[in-house]
Structure 1
Amino acid sequence: MRVVRSSAEVRAALKRARAAGARRLALIPTAGALHRGHLSLVQLAQAQADYRVVSLFVNPTQFGPTEDFTAYPRDEECDRRLLEEQGVELLFTPPIEDIYPQKPRLGFEISGLADHLCGARRPGHFNGVLLIVAKLFNLIQPEVAVFGMKDLQQLVIIKQLVRELSFDIQIVAAPTVREPDGLALSSRNRYLNPEERRQSSALYRALERGQALIAAGERQAERVIAEMKSLLEAEAPLARLDYLEIVDLAKLQPLKQLSGRCALALAAYFGRARLIDNLVLEVRGEAVRELRAI
């Protein structure tokens, strides 16, 4: 695995790779602190391309002033070892001054898609996400880019970015990877103390409760949400709920009556760890099925 640390180096390395016969390049953008969830993206990319580029970059423009940018876990040595074991061809791990030689002056207007869920609670977050993703797309020019379903709102917004800016890139969604008790894997899980970790599994049980209610015929979003909140109050008293919403998948707007493709999405704090999760369902009449990728 080759490691490059600047935009000039990554362009030169990829020019050589193309000349040597790389036909289909996959990008897996990460913030590092890799776990099995990230590695599932790397593995999925292997089936989509013959050359994989992983970026490790903790992006300051997507963190708010009170968020955990400086404390966000970093372990490049461990990350490199994991990626080498996966046979990744290229690791791009630039310093901040390479990606942002000056303070960005341009931004994105994200109408509608960022009005709810994380977009409402983290102002400016998705503008920062789109800025770094657009930079990586421009630098690396992949045929494929892989993103996780756990960050559902991010995935939907990046798909819109690709459509509106006419990037010739296939966006591949990777299913959420979970612990045996259902907790979605996250780099921030390492913040949890033992009791917070035990209670955090209730997030997925709340999603399952909502799914079961819908499968049993409930179509009023308000009733489903109330039952999910009741489960969290009973099983996770340490949780500070940030949001719990049911939105349509196309526009990410809250639903009152459930039909079509929709997402049960939540975020909660356990101590300093902010955890997010979701389930995506397709509701057609009496039929309900889970969509593990979109």
Structure 2
Amino acid sequence: DTIVLDKTGTITEGKPALTDILCAEGQQEDHLLQLAASLESGSEHPLARAILEAAQQRDISPDRADNFQALNGKGVSATLNGKSYRLGNRRWLESEGITANLDSSSLTERGATPLFLAEGNTLLGILGVADRIKEDSRDAIARLKDQGLTVVMITGDIQASADAIAKQVGVDQVMAEVLPEDKAKKVKALQDKGRIVAMVGDGINDAPALAQADVGFAIGTGTDVAIESAAITLMGGSLHGVADAMAISSATVRNIKQNLFGAFIYNSLGVPVAAGVLYPLTGSLLSPVIAGAAMSLSSVTVVSNANRLRLFKPQRGKS
């Protein structure tokens, strides 16, 4: 009854790109981009790749970073030319005593993730990184909602950016600013409320949540560990695969119930007649030939009905 969708790589393409650079007074875009690229040169995070690709496009070469640290769900820090730098989310920098006095609302309103860059305790600027939404995500989510599911988006993004993405794709419930290690806890919290939860994800960070969920869906374009942790692996990267799988599952359960009903009807009518329930009234007994034919017809009915599933095609109507 509840499906939790990871944002990056599931609802979105998982290929973030640098969209904006907001500079503090006296700073220049290329200088900030070089600092950010230097800090991210040791990271494998998708946001890091976006910054490094943007620097490469502008022919900006990163400097060597010393004392590199990647803090899960917070950002990165390193020393460049003897100076300490941090690049990460607002909450982390403010916890480090840095005043994030630049307005990032223009980025978050478009669904971009703001990354705050600081030298020591001085904010230098904000880099906006956005991930494109998959073309069919909105339609697929509409299908899931039409199937009676509560759709939840889970992400490490700040609340404002997450809400902007959710609004674009039609998700009503958002879990934002969730650390990677806490995704499984969020799924467990839903289960503790009596929900039957499916989880859809593609990354290493999603694997514990996929394992925790009642049903885990791994995006086929994702990591091996996510695929190993999930109960169902989608061959493509579209969320329509989730809606298709659930539609096929529902059709199969309906078919099983129809087959059970058909089989029991034959037996519930045939067995009493074969036992002679009509003999005192009509003198009729069930011929073994007729009984055998009826039993065969029962099997033919069940198999024929099951074969209808081969013709089943999930509906993909536009929302």
Higher helix proportion, which one? 2
Q: Same-fold call, TM > 0.5?
A: no
TM-score with structure 2 setting the length: 0.29
TM-score with structure 1 setting the length: 0.30
User: Rg: which structure is higher?
Assistant: 2
